[in-house]
Amino acid sequence: MMNTDISGRKDEFETLLCFSKAIAAARHRADLWEIVNEQLLENIGASYYTLCLINEDAHTHSPFLYSAENKIKTVTGENPVMHRQHPMYDGIFDKAIDTEEPVVFDMQQLVRRKDMPTYVIHWYNSGVKEMMLVRVCNGKEPKGVLYLYAKKTGVFTKGRFSFFTAIADQLGTGISNILANEKIELQLEEIRKYKTQLEQENSYLKEERKKEKHLTGNAVGNSAAIRKVYDLVSKVAASDATVLILGETGTGKELIAHQVHDASPRRDNLMIKVNCAAIPANLLESELFGHEKGSFTGALEKRTGKFELANNSTLFLDEIGELPLEMQAKLLRALQEKEIERIGGKSVIKVNVRIVAATNKNLEAEIVAGRFRSDLYYRLCVFPIALPPLRERKEDIPELVSFFIEKYAVSSGRKINGIAPKALEKLKAYAWPGNIRELEHLIERTVLLTSADSITEVSLPARSKLLFARQDADTEVRSLADVEREHILKMVKLSKGRISGPQGAAAKLQLPSTTLMSKMQKLGIRKEHFIDTGKNND
């Protein structure tokens, strides 16, 4: 009998020694799970285990490690490992926490008690006959409880209590090390994340500085038309309202976007820009929202999208009218929910981004044509700012010309004092279809061609009837109702006055015939507007 006890104690000592070495080498939760499952359970006679830790609220406990759930068989099919939080004072957990020695329960007697925790009943249904709870400490501070479950009684004898306590002590040390390691790894991951973001922002800033050499920093001009724009910028800049900048190409929409940002509380952060027309449609989602490594072919590393880069700053969406319909829906969700999800990501990312968008398109006409979502339009058009074309602010041309002469004279190393009145009048008489951008490029070219100290001659481009006709059509301001009326009238005429039926205007417009007739009545479209006789009309 004595030899048996000595042999048993020797086995327990060797088990503790091996367990201690393995615990010391464990760095992750998975390491500890493997040690308990593969090395410990079979040496102590337990079938299953659960290691529960006290939560930060100091009132509940939750499973930290546990037996493989797919290997636990129950008569009811209910999983005994219950992952939700449980109250500490349930008559089981708190008893183990308050006792230095292990506590053993006969499951058949235990389940007869009133108000037993649900997890006890589930373990009983899995065939467990005996349950032992051992307090797990880090030093002398209780951290949780180790539950050991046996399918027969008499496994957890009092003579082995010191062995079980020693195991729990080793687990306490291992858990504390692993939790500390997990915290360090989480902090390192955050550091890597911010380092990557800073590197991307730095790279982006260098690229933007190269691109922004043409920007003036402040708008030039003092005409009534441009002063109205200044006034609108001053009123909206301090808010977080979404701004939609409208205007022909070359009117300085990006410059106004910078002024909105620079006058806002977000001015200390870099304004992030996306040109929706310059990025291929299949890359736009990644550009805006980013992607995880391996999320698609060619995604060799994680990419932070422009929304994340613009967090707590301004995102300028230039050429918003070129955004594909599919991306319009995703952009709308990001604006409404104020959160994004990277391609291949498994979690949403909250973002605090102020949106400034710009377009030279008539978005209302695009809505009628089915190329732009009306809900996105109304979400963007919270505070519209319409920029006047240069032909409507010609009194600003002298100041603009002086500014550009000085700018390009300095950059080209020339000494040019100004421009002759006759040449300036010639510039003021021109219609400028390309607006300020066209004026700037003409002055740059003229400076390079001028050998004297003053510009006396400018070479204006020949007027293109096609270009000017298109410009006049693009800049015509019409209401959404007018555009919709014209489009419906065109479809009805193409249908030879037929409203319903497969060849009717309703089918072409993808509307119920009753809806179309109601719209026609509302818009004042009568029979005489589209047909001379009633022969082809329904």
Which helix (H) or strand (E) element contains residue 317?
Answer: strand 313-318
Token digits for 284?
A: 């736009």
Ranges of the chain with pLDDT below 70 = 1-11, 13, 15, 39, 42, 197, 200-218, 463-480, 531-538
Q: What are the CA-CA distances from residue 195 to residues 190, 212, 348 (Å)?
A: 8, 25, 20
State the Cα–Cα distance between residues 161 and 345, nearest whole angstrom: 48
How many whole angstroms separate alpha carbon 151 and alpha carbon 278? 68
What is the pairing mode between strands 243-246 and 383-386?
parallel
CA gap 484, 333 in Å, rounded? 27
- Torsion 446-449-452-457 (CA) sign: negative
Distance (Å, whole) CA 159 – CA 435: 94
| Per-residue pLDDT, 205 | 63
Q: How, if at all, do strands 383-386 and 353-359 pair?
A: unpaired
- At 463, the amino acid letter reads R
d(CA 471, CA 487): 20
Q: Check if the beta carbon of residue 418 is closer than 8 Å to that of residue 382.
A: no
The per-residue pLDDT for range 127-182, each reduced to its tens digit, is: 999 999 999 988 788 999 999 999 999 888 888 888 888 888 888 888 888 888 88
**Residues in the chain, total:** 538
